[in-house]
Amino acid sequence: MGSTPTASTSFLVRRFVTLLVMGAILLGAGAAAAQTAGVQFRYSGRMVTTPQLGSRIDVVPVLRLVGAEVGYSPAAGTWAAELGDTTLQFAPDHHFVLANGELLEFPETPASSPQGGVLATVGFLEKGLLGPLGFHLEPLDDGYRIVAGPRVGRPLLVRAAAADFGATTTLVLTLERPATASVTQSAGRIDLALEDAAPRLDRSIPLRSRRVRSIEVGARGLEITLPPGVGLLSWHTLEGPPRVILELGERLPTPTPVPAAAAQPPIRKPSVRPVVIDPGHGGDDTGAISRDGIREKDVTLAVARRLARILSAHGHAVRLTRTGDESRALTDRTALANRLEASVFVSLHANASRAASARGAETYYMSLDDASDDTAAAVARVENAAGGGTHGGSALDLILWDMAQAEVLNRSARLALDIQHRLNSLLDLPDRGVKQAPFVVLTGATMPAALVEVGFLSNPGEAHRLTDPAYQQRLAEALAAGIEEFLRSGS
Protein backbone atom coordinates (compact mmCIF):
# COMPACT_ATOMS: atom_id res chain seq x y z
CA MET A 1 0.00 0.00 0.00
CA GLY A 2 1.51 3.44 -0.99
CA SER A 3 2.28 6.12 1.53
CA THR A 4 -0.31 8.75 2.23
CA PRO A 5 0.14 12.32 0.92
CA THR A 6 0.76 13.54 4.47
CA ALA A 7 3.60 11.08 5.07
CA SER A 8 5.16 11.83 1.71
CA THR A 9 5.07 15.54 2.37
CA SER A 10 6.68 15.09 5.78
CA PHE A 11 9.50 13.04 4.23
CA LEU A 12 10.21 15.74 1.63
CA VAL A 13 10.26 18.46 4.27
CA ARG A 14 12.76 16.50 6.38
CA ARG A 15 14.92 15.93 3.30
CA PHE A 16 14.87 19.65 2.39
CA VAL A 17 15.82 20.68 5.92
CA THR A 18 18.71 18.22 5.91
CA LEU A 19 20.02 19.66 2.65
CA LEU A 20 19.76 23.20 4.03
CA VAL A 21 21.75 22.26 7.12
CA MET A 22 24.44 20.52 5.06
CA GLY A 23 24.64 23.52 2.72
CA ALA A 24 25.00 25.89 5.64
CA ILE A 25 27.81 23.77 7.04
CA LEU A 26 29.61 23.70 3.70
CA LEU A 27 29.14 27.45 3.20
CA GLY A 28 30.45 28.13 6.67
CA ALA A 29 33.48 26.00 6.03
CA GLY A 30 34.09 27.81 2.74
CA ALA A 31 33.77 31.21 4.40
CA ALA A 32 36.16 30.16 7.14
CA ALA A 33 38.61 28.93 4.54
CA ALA A 34 38.33 32.23 2.65
CA GLN A 35 38.99 34.18 5.84
CA THR A 36 42.11 32.14 6.60
CA ALA A 37 43.39 32.04 3.00
CA GLY A 38 46.71 33.71 2.52
CA VAL A 39 49.85 34.01 0.45
CA GLN A 40 53.01 32.05 1.19
CA PHE A 41 56.42 33.74 1.42
CA ARG A 42 59.67 31.78 1.71
CA TYR A 43 63.01 33.06 2.90
CA SER A 44 66.18 31.25 4.02
CA GLY A 45 64.47 27.88 4.57
CA ARG A 46 61.53 29.34 6.49
CA MET A 47 57.99 30.12 5.39
CA VAL A 48 55.09 32.27 6.52
CA THR A 49 51.52 32.42 5.23
CA THR A 50 50.27 35.97 5.54
CA PRO A 51 46.53 36.79 5.57
CA GLN A 52 45.04 38.14 2.35
CA LEU A 53 42.06 40.45 1.91
CA GLY A 54 41.15 41.05 -1.72
CA SER A 55 44.27 42.14 -3.59
CA ARG A 56 46.13 43.06 -0.39
CA ILE A 57 48.17 41.08 2.10
CA ASP A 58 49.35 41.72 5.64
CA VAL A 59 52.95 42.87 5.21
CA VAL A 60 53.98 42.69 8.89
CA PRO A 61 54.60 38.89 8.97
CA VAL A 62 56.68 39.17 5.78
CA LEU A 63 58.89 41.88 7.27
CA ARG A 64 59.42 39.79 10.39
CA LEU A 65 60.29 36.77 8.22
CA VAL A 66 63.39 38.55 6.85
CA GLY A 67 64.46 39.47 10.39
CA ALA A 68 63.14 43.02 10.68
CA GLU A 69 61.97 44.34 14.03
CA VAL A 70 58.47 45.70 13.40
CA GLY A 71 56.47 47.84 15.80
CA TYR A 72 53.55 50.27 15.89
CA SER A 73 53.46 53.65 17.64
CA PRO A 74 49.87 54.55 18.62
CA ALA A 75 50.92 58.11 19.48
CA ALA A 76 52.39 58.79 16.04
CA GLY A 77 50.09 56.44 14.13
CA THR A 78 53.08 54.99 12.26
CA TRP A 79 54.75 51.63 11.83
CA ALA A 80 58.52 51.19 11.97
CA ALA A 81 60.67 48.37 10.62
CA GLU A 82 64.39 48.09 11.45
CA LEU A 83 66.90 45.76 9.85
CA GLY A 84 70.63 46.36 10.09
CA ASP A 85 71.36 50.01 9.35
CA THR A 86 67.99 50.63 7.65
CA THR A 87 64.94 52.07 9.36
CA LEU A 88 61.59 52.36 7.60
CA GLN A 89 58.57 54.37 8.71
CA PHE A 90 55.16 54.01 7.07
CA ALA A 91 51.53 54.50 7.96
CA PRO A 92 48.10 53.34 6.79
CA ASP A 93 46.37 55.73 4.36
CA HIS A 94 49.66 57.45 3.45
CA HIS A 95 51.50 56.80 0.19
CA PHE A 96 54.91 57.64 1.70
CA VAL A 97 57.68 55.49 3.13
CA LEU A 98 60.50 57.17 5.04
CA ALA A 99 63.68 55.13 4.48
CA ASN A 100 66.65 56.41 6.53
CA GLY A 101 65.39 59.98 6.15
CA GLU A 102 64.63 59.67 2.41
CA LEU A 103 60.96 60.18 1.56
CA LEU A 104 59.73 57.68 -1.05
CA GLU A 105 56.35 58.26 -2.69
CA PHE A 106 54.08 55.60 -4.20
CA PRO A 107 50.77 55.81 -6.09
CA GLU A 108 49.03 53.39 -3.70
CA THR A 109 48.47 53.51 0.05
CA PRO A 110 48.45 50.70 2.64
CA ALA A 111 45.47 50.20 4.97
CA SER A 112 44.96 48.94 8.52
CA SER A 113 44.22 45.23 8.85
CA PRO A 114 41.25 44.08 10.97
CA GLN A 115 43.73 41.79 12.76
CA GLY A 116 45.97 44.74 13.66
CA GLY A 117 48.52 44.57 10.86
CA VAL A 118 49.02 46.55 7.65
CA LEU A 119 47.40 45.59 4.35
CA ALA A 120 49.21 46.47 1.10
CA THR A 121 49.66 45.10 -2.39
CA VAL A 122 52.58 42.84 -3.22
CA GLY A 123 53.95 45.67 -5.38
CA PHE A 124 54.00 48.10 -2.45
CA LEU A 125 55.59 45.41 -0.25
CA GLU A 126 58.41 44.85 -2.73
CA LYS A 127 59.09 48.43 -3.86
CA GLY A 128 58.34 50.35 -0.68
CA LEU A 129 59.41 47.97 2.09
CA LEU A 130 61.51 45.00 0.99
CA GLY A 131 63.40 46.99 -1.65
CA PRO A 132 64.86 49.59 0.77
CA LEU A 133 65.76 46.71 3.14
CA GLY A 134 67.75 45.04 0.35
CA PHE A 135 65.42 42.34 -0.99
CA HIS A 136 63.24 41.54 -3.97
CA LEU A 137 60.55 38.95 -4.73
CA GLU A 138 60.58 36.01 -7.13
CA PRO A 139 57.15 34.51 -7.91
CA LEU A 140 56.43 30.84 -7.14
CA ASP A 141 53.40 28.69 -7.98
CA ASP A 142 51.97 29.13 -4.47
CA GLY A 143 53.48 32.46 -3.43
CA TYR A 144 56.84 34.23 -3.47
CA ARG A 145 60.49 33.67 -2.62
CA ILE A 146 62.30 36.56 -0.90
CA VAL A 147 65.76 37.03 -2.36
CA ALA A 148 68.55 39.27 -1.09
CA GLY A 149 69.72 41.99 -3.46
CA PRO A 150 67.95 44.27 -5.93
CA ARG A 151 65.83 42.91 -8.77
CA VAL A 152 67.83 42.52 -11.94
CA GLY A 153 65.88 43.92 -14.85
CA ARG A 154 66.31 43.68 -18.59
CA PRO A 155 69.09 45.83 -20.05
CA LEU A 156 67.83 49.28 -21.10
CA LEU A 157 69.89 51.69 -23.18
CA VAL A 158 69.59 55.35 -22.13
CA ARG A 159 70.79 58.31 -24.21
CA ALA A 160 71.31 61.64 -22.44
CA ALA A 161 71.13 65.14 -23.96
CA ALA A 162 71.07 68.51 -22.20
CA ALA A 163 70.24 72.11 -23.10
CA ASP A 164 71.67 74.83 -20.84
CA PHE A 165 69.63 78.02 -20.54
CA GLY A 166 70.27 81.21 -18.60
CA ALA A 167 68.82 80.02 -15.30
CA THR A 168 67.91 76.38 -15.95
CA THR A 169 68.98 73.23 -17.74
CA THR A 170 66.68 70.71 -19.41
CA LEU A 171 68.08 67.18 -19.24
CA VAL A 172 66.43 64.63 -21.54
CA LEU A 173 67.01 60.91 -20.99
CA THR A 174 65.71 58.96 -23.98
CA LEU A 175 64.88 55.28 -23.29
CA GLU A 176 65.01 52.55 -25.92
CA ARG A 177 61.71 51.17 -24.58
CA PRO A 178 59.02 52.32 -22.09
CA ALA A 179 59.84 51.88 -18.40
CA THR A 180 58.24 53.18 -15.20
CA ALA A 181 60.49 55.86 -13.73
CA SER A 182 60.80 57.31 -10.24
CA VAL A 183 63.06 60.19 -9.20
CA THR A 184 64.47 61.04 -5.78
CA GLN A 185 66.90 63.80 -4.81
CA SER A 186 69.55 64.09 -2.14
CA ALA A 187 72.30 66.64 -1.60
CA GLY A 188 74.16 67.05 -4.88
CA ARG A 189 72.59 64.03 -6.56
CA ILE A 190 69.48 62.80 -8.34
CA ASP A 191 68.63 59.08 -8.41
CA LEU A 192 66.53 57.82 -11.32
CA ALA A 193 65.09 54.32 -10.80
CA LEU A 194 63.65 52.47 -13.81
CA GLU A 195 61.34 49.63 -12.83
CA ASP A 196 62.39 46.12 -13.94
CA ALA A 197 65.23 47.59 -15.99
CA ALA A 198 69.01 47.56 -15.80
CA PRO A 199 69.98 50.89 -17.42
CA ARG A 200 73.06 51.20 -19.63
CA LEU A 201 74.31 54.57 -20.80
CA ASP A 202 74.99 55.34 -24.44
CA ARG A 203 78.46 56.90 -24.11
CA SER A 204 79.17 57.16 -27.82
CA ILE A 205 78.95 60.97 -27.55
CA PRO A 206 79.78 62.76 -24.26
CA LEU A 207 77.19 64.80 -22.38
CA ARG A 208 78.03 68.50 -21.97
CA SER A 209 76.25 70.67 -19.41
CA ARG A 210 77.45 73.12 -16.81
CA ARG A 211 74.71 71.91 -14.43
CA VAL A 212 75.36 68.15 -14.76
CA ARG A 213 78.69 66.87 -13.48
CA SER A 214 78.18 63.24 -14.40
CA ILE A 215 75.65 60.47 -15.03
CA GLU A 216 76.60 56.98 -13.85
CA VAL A 217 74.86 53.63 -13.40
CA GLY A 218 74.35 52.95 -9.69
CA ALA A 219 72.82 50.26 -7.50
CA ARG A 220 69.27 51.62 -7.89
CA GLY A 221 69.45 52.98 -11.43
CA LEU A 222 71.07 56.15 -12.75
CA GLU A 223 72.93 58.54 -10.44
CA ILE A 224 73.08 62.13 -11.71
CA THR A 225 75.69 64.22 -9.90
CA LEU A 226 75.09 67.98 -9.73
CA PRO A 227 77.41 70.89 -8.85
CA PRO A 228 76.84 72.85 -5.62
CA GLY A 229 73.73 75.03 -5.63
CA VAL A 230 72.00 73.10 -8.42
CA GLY A 231 68.97 70.93 -7.75
CA LEU A 232 65.94 69.32 -9.33
CA LEU A 233 63.15 71.82 -10.10
CA SER A 234 60.70 69.37 -11.71
CA TRP A 235 60.52 66.20 -13.77
CA HIS A 236 58.05 64.38 -16.00
CA THR A 237 57.90 61.72 -18.66
CA LEU A 238 56.96 61.85 -22.34
CA GLU A 239 56.15 59.23 -24.94
CA GLY A 240 57.11 58.70 -28.58
CA PRO A 241 59.95 57.99 -27.91
CA PRO A 242 59.85 57.33 -24.15
CA ARG A 243 61.78 60.05 -22.33
CA VAL A 244 62.39 61.32 -18.79
CA ILE A 245 62.63 65.14 -18.68
CA LEU A 246 64.38 66.78 -15.72
CA GLU A 247 64.49 70.54 -15.15
CA LEU A 248 67.57 71.61 -13.19
CA GLY A 249 68.44 74.96 -11.67
CA GLU A 250 69.27 76.86 -8.52
CA ARG A 251 67.43 75.30 -5.61
CA LEU A 252 67.16 76.55 -2.03
CA PRO A 253 67.94 74.05 0.73
CA THR A 254 64.90 71.99 1.75
CA PRO A 255 64.08 70.96 5.32
CA THR A 256 64.61 67.38 6.47
CA PRO A 257 61.53 65.29 5.50
CA VAL A 258 59.04 64.67 8.29
CA PRO A 259 57.78 61.17 9.19
CA ALA A 260 55.10 59.75 6.94
CA ALA A 261 52.30 60.19 9.48
CA ALA A 262 52.81 63.94 9.62
CA ALA A 263 53.74 64.45 5.99
CA GLN A 264 51.38 66.53 3.88
CA PRO A 265 50.55 65.48 0.31
CA PRO A 266 52.83 67.27 -2.19
CA ILE A 267 51.53 70.14 -4.25
CA ARG A 268 50.71 68.66 -7.63
CA LYS A 269 50.55 70.40 -10.97
CA PRO A 270 47.19 70.66 -12.71
CA SER A 271 46.23 67.44 -14.47
CA VAL A 272 45.60 69.48 -17.64
CA ARG A 273 48.84 70.49 -19.33
CA PRO A 274 48.66 74.20 -20.23
CA VAL A 275 49.09 75.88 -23.58
CA VAL A 276 51.94 78.38 -23.21
CA ILE A 277 51.70 81.50 -25.37
CA ASP A 278 54.79 83.66 -25.74
CA PRO A 279 54.22 87.33 -26.73
CA GLY A 280 57.50 88.13 -28.47
CA HIS A 281 59.86 90.88 -27.24
CA GLY A 282 58.89 93.27 -24.39
CA GLY A 283 60.47 95.88 -22.15
CA ASP A 284 63.47 97.57 -23.74
CA ASP A 285 63.24 95.13 -26.62
CA THR A 286 60.59 96.69 -28.87
CA GLY A 287 61.04 94.32 -31.79
CA ALA A 288 60.23 95.61 -35.27
CA ILE A 289 58.74 99.13 -35.61
CA SER A 290 56.60 100.33 -38.50
CA ARG A 291 57.08 103.70 -40.23
CA ASP A 292 54.16 104.97 -38.14
CA GLY A 293 55.74 103.83 -34.85
CA ILE A 294 53.72 100.61 -34.35
CA ARG A 295 55.85 98.38 -32.13
CA GLU A 296 56.04 94.60 -32.46
CA LYS A 297 56.02 94.05 -28.69
CA ASP A 298 52.63 95.80 -28.38
CA VAL A 299 51.03 93.85 -31.23
CA THR A 300 52.19 90.46 -29.95
CA LEU A 301 50.96 91.13 -26.40
CA ALA A 302 47.55 92.32 -27.61
CA VAL A 303 47.07 89.25 -29.81
CA ALA A 304 48.39 86.90 -27.10
CA ARG A 305 45.90 88.23 -24.55
CA ARG A 306 43.01 87.67 -26.95
CA LEU A 307 44.28 84.20 -27.83
CA ALA A 308 44.56 83.30 -24.14
CA ARG A 309 40.96 84.42 -23.50
CA ILE A 310 39.65 82.33 -26.40
CA LEU A 311 41.51 79.18 -25.37
CA SER A 312 40.49 79.64 -21.73
CA ALA A 313 36.84 80.01 -22.74
CA HIS A 314 37.17 76.71 -24.61
CA GLY A 315 38.35 74.93 -21.47
CA HIS A 316 42.12 75.01 -21.99
CA ALA A 317 44.63 75.94 -19.29
CA VAL A 318 46.72 78.85 -20.65
CA ARG A 319 49.86 80.62 -19.48
CA LEU A 320 51.57 83.68 -20.98
CA THR A 321 55.34 84.05 -20.72
CA ARG A 322 54.78 87.75 -20.06
CA THR A 323 51.56 89.48 -19.06
CA GLY A 324 52.81 93.06 -19.40
CA ASP A 325 55.55 95.13 -20.99
CA GLU A 326 58.46 93.39 -19.29
CA SER A 327 61.69 91.89 -20.59
CA ARG A 328 62.28 88.14 -20.54
CA ALA A 329 65.25 86.25 -21.93
CA LEU A 330 64.52 84.09 -24.95
CA THR A 331 65.67 80.85 -23.32
CA ASP A 332 63.72 81.58 -20.12
CA ARG A 333 60.48 81.55 -22.13
CA THR A 334 60.97 77.98 -23.29
CA ALA A 335 62.28 76.95 -19.87
CA LEU A 336 59.00 78.19 -18.35
CA ALA A 337 57.04 76.01 -20.77
CA ASN A 338 59.19 73.02 -19.83
CA ARG A 339 58.64 73.58 -16.10
CA LEU A 340 54.88 73.79 -16.65
CA GLU A 341 54.95 70.62 -18.78
CA ALA A 342 53.06 72.52 -21.48
CA SER A 343 51.09 70.70 -24.16
CA VAL A 344 52.26 73.19 -26.82
CA PHE A 345 54.39 76.35 -26.94
CA VAL A 346 53.56 79.09 -29.46
CA SER A 347 55.70 82.23 -29.78
CA LEU A 348 54.06 85.25 -31.47
CA HIS A 349 55.99 87.84 -33.54
CA ALA A 350 55.49 90.43 -36.29
CA ASN A 351 57.68 90.44 -39.36
CA ALA A 352 59.59 93.08 -41.29
CA SER A 353 61.00 93.09 -44.80
CA ARG A 354 62.88 95.41 -47.12
CA ALA A 355 60.08 94.82 -49.62
CA ALA A 356 57.20 97.01 -48.45
CA SER A 357 54.77 94.86 -50.44
CA ALA A 358 55.48 91.70 -48.42
CA ARG A 359 52.40 90.59 -46.47
CA GLY A 360 50.88 87.57 -44.78
CA ALA A 361 51.71 85.20 -41.96
CA GLU A 362 54.54 82.68 -41.68
CA THR A 363 54.85 79.81 -39.22
CA TYR A 364 58.16 78.28 -38.21
CA TYR A 365 59.31 75.27 -36.27
CA MET A 366 62.75 74.51 -34.92
CA SER A 367 65.81 73.46 -36.90
CA LEU A 368 69.25 73.16 -35.37
CA ASP A 369 70.78 72.74 -38.80
CA ASP A 370 70.34 75.17 -41.68
CA ALA A 371 67.24 77.26 -42.20
CA SER A 372 64.82 76.15 -44.92
CA ASP A 373 65.71 79.20 -47.04
CA ASP A 374 67.62 82.50 -46.92
CA THR A 375 64.56 84.44 -45.81
CA ALA A 376 63.94 82.05 -42.90
CA ALA A 377 67.58 82.36 -41.87
CA ALA A 378 67.31 86.16 -41.91
CA VAL A 379 64.16 86.09 -39.77
CA ALA A 380 65.87 83.82 -37.24
CA ARG A 381 68.92 86.11 -37.04
CA VAL A 382 66.70 89.12 -36.28
CA GLU A 383 64.63 87.34 -33.63
CA ASN A 384 67.68 85.69 -32.02
CA ALA A 385 69.44 89.05 -31.68
CA ALA A 386 66.66 90.26 -29.39
CA GLY A 387 65.52 89.12 -25.99
CA GLY A 388 68.77 88.84 -24.09
CA GLY A 389 69.50 85.13 -24.22
CA THR A 390 71.36 82.60 -26.31
CA HIS A 391 71.65 78.87 -26.02
CA GLY A 392 75.28 79.02 -24.93
CA GLY A 393 76.15 75.50 -26.11
CA SER A 394 78.48 74.27 -28.82
CA ALA A 395 77.32 73.28 -32.28
CA LEU A 396 77.82 69.63 -31.30
CA ASP A 397 75.59 70.08 -28.23
CA LEU A 398 72.85 71.53 -30.44
CA ILE A 399 73.08 68.61 -32.85
CA LEU A 400 72.84 66.15 -29.93
CA TRP A 401 69.79 67.98 -28.66
CA ASP A 402 68.24 67.81 -32.12
CA MET A 403 68.80 64.04 -32.18
CA ALA A 404 67.19 63.59 -28.78
CA GLN A 405 64.21 65.70 -29.78
CA ALA A 406 63.60 64.23 -33.23
CA GLU A 407 60.05 63.15 -32.40
CA VAL A 408 59.25 66.53 -30.82
CA LEU A 409 60.36 68.25 -34.04
CA ASN A 410 58.05 66.02 -36.06
CA ARG A 411 55.10 67.03 -33.91
CA SER A 412 56.19 70.67 -34.03
CA ALA A 413 55.98 70.48 -37.81
CA ARG A 414 52.40 69.22 -37.50
CA LEU A 415 51.54 72.07 -35.12
CA ALA A 416 53.05 74.64 -37.50
CA LEU A 417 51.09 73.22 -40.44
CA ASP A 418 47.79 73.31 -38.53
CA ILE A 419 48.34 76.94 -37.46
CA GLN A 420 49.44 78.11 -40.91
CA HIS A 421 46.45 76.40 -42.57
CA ARG A 422 44.00 78.16 -40.26
CA LEU A 423 45.66 81.55 -40.69
CA ASN A 424 45.44 81.24 -44.47
CA SER A 425 41.88 79.91 -44.64
CA LEU A 426 40.23 82.09 -41.98
CA LEU A 427 42.03 85.34 -42.74
CA ASP A 428 42.35 84.93 -46.52
CA LEU A 429 46.08 85.58 -46.35
CA PRO A 430 48.62 84.67 -49.02
CA ASP A 431 50.18 81.32 -48.15
CA ARG A 432 53.81 82.01 -47.21
CA GLY A 433 54.20 78.41 -46.03
CA VAL A 434 55.74 76.64 -43.08
CA LYS A 435 59.50 77.00 -42.65
CA GLN A 436 62.34 75.87 -40.41
CA ALA A 437 64.99 78.04 -38.78
CA PRO A 438 67.22 77.87 -35.69
CA PHE A 439 65.23 80.11 -33.32
CA VAL A 440 66.73 80.44 -29.86
CA VAL A 441 63.29 80.86 -28.30
CA LEU A 442 62.33 77.36 -29.54
CA THR A 443 65.58 75.68 -28.52
CA GLY A 444 65.15 73.06 -25.80
CA ALA A 445 61.36 72.80 -25.98
CA THR A 446 60.28 69.35 -24.82
CA MET A 447 56.82 69.81 -26.30
CA PRO A 448 55.59 70.73 -29.81
CA ALA A 449 56.64 74.34 -30.41
CA ALA A 450 56.11 76.88 -33.20
CA LEU A 451 56.89 80.53 -33.89
CA VAL A 452 54.30 82.59 -35.79
CA GLU A 453 55.06 85.82 -37.64
CA VAL A 454 51.50 87.18 -37.73
CA GLY A 455 52.13 89.84 -40.37
CA PHE A 456 54.52 92.47 -41.73
CA LEU A 457 54.93 95.78 -39.91
CA SER A 458 56.98 96.91 -42.91
CA ASN A 459 53.78 96.82 -44.99
CA PRO A 460 51.81 100.03 -44.17
CA GLY A 461 48.43 98.45 -44.81
CA GLU A 462 49.14 95.32 -42.80
CA ALA A 463 50.75 97.29 -39.97
CA HIS A 464 47.58 99.37 -39.62
CA ARG A 465 45.44 96.22 -39.68
CA LEU A 466 47.53 94.60 -36.92
CA THR A 467 46.51 97.43 -34.55
CA ASP A 468 42.79 97.01 -35.33
CA PRO A 469 41.07 95.24 -32.38
CA ALA A 470 38.61 93.50 -34.71
CA TYR A 471 41.42 92.09 -36.84
CA GLN A 472 43.41 91.13 -33.74
CA GLN A 473 40.37 89.16 -32.59
CA ARG A 474 40.09 87.35 -35.95
CA LEU A 475 43.80 86.64 -35.85
CA ALA A 476 43.54 85.21 -32.32
CA GLU A 477 40.57 83.06 -33.37
CA ALA A 478 42.54 81.64 -36.31
CA LEU A 479 45.51 80.87 -34.05
CA ALA A 480 43.23 79.20 -31.50
CA ALA A 481 41.63 77.09 -34.24
CA GLY A 482 45.03 75.87 -35.42
CA ILE A 483 46.20 75.03 -31.90
CA GLU A 484 42.97 73.19 -31.08
CA GLU A 485 43.08 71.27 -34.35
CA PHE A 486 46.53 70.01 -33.39
CA LEU A 487 45.46 69.12 -29.84
CA ARG A 488 42.38 67.24 -31.07
CA SER A 489 44.43 65.20 -33.52
CA GLY A 490 46.75 63.99 -30.76
CA SER A 491 49.64 64.39 -33.20
**Boundary residue ending a domain (148, 170, 200):** 148
Predicted local distance difference test score (pLDDT) of residue 114: 85
Residue 395 has pLDDT above 50, yes or no: no
Is 363 inside any structural domain?
A: yes
pLDDT for the residue numbered 130: 94
Within-domain flag for 72: yes
Q: Is residue 109 part of a domain?
A: yes
CB 373 within 8 A of CB 379: no
Is the same domain home to 107 and 159?
no
Confidence band, pLDDT 50/70/90 cuts, at residue 261: very low
The whole-angstrom separation of Cα 369 and Cα 376 is 12
Q: For residue 430, is pLDDT > 60?
A: yes
Q: What number is the average pLDDT over the span 277-288?
A: 93
pLDDT at residue 380 in the model: 59
Question: Which sign does the torsion angle of CA 323, 326, 332, 333 carry?
Answer: positive
Instruction: Band the pLDDT of 39: cuts 50, 70, 90.
Output: very high
**Domain with 302 in it: what CATH number?**
3.40.630.40
Whether residue 6 lies inside any domain: the answer is: no
- Domain identity same for 113 and 179: no
Same domain, 349 and 368: yes
Q: Which residues contact 301 (CB under 8 A, 6 or more apart)?
A: 279, 282, 322, 324, 325
* Percent of the chain's residues with pLDDT above 70: 79
The total of structural domains in the chain comes to: 3
CATH number at residue 199: 2.60.40.3500
Neighbours of 17 (CB within 10 A): 10
Burial zone of 194 (CB within 10 Å; 0-12 exposed, 13-18 middle, 19+ buried)? buried
The mean pLDDT of the chain is 81
Same-domain check for residues 314 and 364:
yes
| Per-residue pLDDT at 373 | 58
In a domain, 29, yes or no: no
pLDDT, tens only, 92-151: 888 778 888 677 777 788 999 888 899 999 989 998 999 899 999 999 988 999 999 877
133 and 192 in a single domain? The answer is no
140 in any annotated domain = yes
- pTM to 2 decimal places: 0.53
Same structural domain, 52 and 188: no
Residues 206, 351 share a domain: no
Q: What is the pLDDT of residue 46?
A: 95
User: Confidence class of residue 438 from pLDDT cuts 50, 70 and 90?
Assistant: confident
| Predicted local confidence at residue 385, as pLDDT | 59
User: Whole domain around residue 117: which residue ranges?
Assistant: 38-148
Same-domain check for residues 96 and 168 = no
Final residue belonging to a domain, choices 86, 114, 148: 148
Is 279 within 8 Å of 320 (Cβ atoms)?
Answer: yes
Q: Are 178 and 75 in contact (CB under 8 A)?
A: no
Query: Do 184 and 42 share a structural domain?
Result: no
pLDDT the model gives residue 190: 93
Q: Which of 101-115, 175-189, 355-369 has the highest mean pLDDT?
A: 175-189
Task: Provide the CATH number for the domain around residue 89.
Answer: 3.30.457.10
Final residue before a domain boundary, out of 127, 148, 169: 148
Adjacent-strand bridge partners of 138? 145
Higher pLDDT, 418 or 21: 418
Same domain, 216 and 281: no
112 and 161, same domain (yes or no): no
Residue at 8 is within a domain: no
Verify that 355 and 434 share a domain, yes or no. Answer: yes
Please state the rounded mean pLDDT for residues 378-404.
Answer: 51
Residue at 260 is within a domain: no
pLDDT at 321 over 90: yes
